[in-house]
Amino acid sequence: MSGRKLFGTDGIRGVANAYPITAEMCLKLAKGMEACNILKAGDFVIVGRDTRISGDMLEHALAAAFCSCGIRVGLLGIVPTPAVSILCRKLSAVAGIMISASHNPFGDNGVKIFNSSGCKLTDLQEAELEKIMLDDAFSSQFMITGSRVGRTQCEEHSLGLYLNKIRESFSFKNQTSSMRMVLDLANGVFSSIAPELLREYGFDVVSMHDSPDGININHDCGATNPQTLSRGVIEYQAQVGLAFDGDGDRVLLADENGNTIDGDHILAILAQSENFQCPELVSTLMSNLALEKYLASHGVKLARTAVGDRYISEYMQQSEATLGGEPSGHIIVKSHALTGDGLFAALKVLEYAINSGKKLSELNNLFRSYSSFSKNVAVSDKAVINDQKVIKETEKIRTALGNVGRLILRFSGTEPVIRLYLESENSSELKCMAESLAATIENVQGCVTT
């Protein structure tokens, strides 16, 4: 709906081995990055991937594509997305590619692109790159021959470098031996390395969904299915639970009662752990209004960006904010990485819980999220949002919600739908309001709700 044909909220994503997630598009991506001056012949690029079966195909396709452009390629293998961001700097790579569809089912895949600083591309860079990738005139350009053809190398120490950066940040000093922890690894990138690291720290670790086979990533597990973690915490009588998504850039926690701790509450905990010293935190339009009011009561402003952790990262780079995140569990700690890191964020929460002597249930009770309701409306023309009937109904709902609620209408970055989101401190009519607005949009355009 944004007018983009390739790039969405977080890179390029779709069904693996179907347009645009094909080997042919990998070649266009490599050539496009060169044409956009993101990189040039002789540069060094790193490529990581998650546990999807299609990762092999796309990893080799990208390696071949970059080599054909005279680019040297470092293959990281299966690594978390934040590792690619961090290793761009540590390995002096001009760019980094993460092959992943994040929390999507195994049949999907995609690419996330990082620059030399470990930041995702801006909207302007993506628009320029997409224009070139879709221009057939570039398909036969930038051919490299002879000794200038690029080569690949396996970066065997990539995971070690990433884990060492985390080790440098935490020291629990034998305070963890009595803490049982349940991990839901989503059959993804953290399946082996997270349990190993956390046992190294002394935690009593119980792992679930830690046997990736290429097709079970995110399947009824992980951060998008926190109820699975909640059941595990109760079953194993654990004090904490961590649920990651398939590529490791987001995390949700569960307290000792099995109650989910989402990204908003993680932000509140981390803000408290820093004694609210940062005057500004960053989240997206989707963060609950209750978080904003809680932070304001402690003198902290909540800045809001468009949906997507890359927008949070961009804002943080231009401000004094050191902490940002999304309700879905993308948490960015500026001093560590410029993208979400589920493992690092979880350890920051645990560090504060242990040092403060508080149970996670106490930390999960800093504020009470307002009630919310969401609905999608399929659309063929985004101009429907400017129809006078839609505007009138929108204003009516916002008036009814007053200053204790919100209505958000936004176009999806991945689907041709308008997403309706309502929240309120005290309204019991959110579903009716959403249905009324959806019906108005349908009547204007003849759309179908989902």
Q: Which residues are catalytic?
A: 102
The helix/strand/coil state of 199 is: helix
Which tokens in the block code for residue 284? 């997206």
Distance CA 15, CA 19 (A): 7
How open is the CA angle 358-362-368, to the nearest 5 degrees?
A: 155
The helix/strand/coil state of 137 is: helix
State the amino acid at position 297 in one-letter form. Answer: S
Dihedral in degrees, nearest 10, Cα atoms 35, 36, 37, 38: -120
Which ranges of 117-215 would DSSP assign to H, the alpha helix?
Answer: 123-133, 158-167, 193-200
- Do residues 250 and 342 touch, judged by C-beta distance below 8 A? yes
Dihedral in degrees, nearest 10, Cα atoms 179, 185, 191, 195: 0
Which tokens in the block code for residue 79? 């690594």
Half-sphere exposure (Cβ direction) of 272: Cα atoms closer than 13 Å: 22
Half-sphere exposure (Cβ direction) of 159: Cα atoms closer than 13 Å: 16
Do you find a cis peptide bond into 416, omega within 30 degrees of 0? no
Distance CA 399, CA 442 (A): 22
Neighbouring residues of 241: CB distance < 8 A, sequence distance ≥ 6:
181, 182, 183, 184, 229, 230, 232, 233, 253, 254, 258
Is beta strand 331-333 parallel, antiparallel or unpaired with respect to 301-305?
unpaired
Strand partners, 261: 253
Neighbouring residues of 92: CB distance < 8 A, sequence distance ≥ 6:
44, 116
Dihedral in degrees, nearest 10, Cα atoms 123, 63, 77, 92: -60
Tell me how crowded residue 424 is: count the other CB atoms within 10 A of its CB.
21
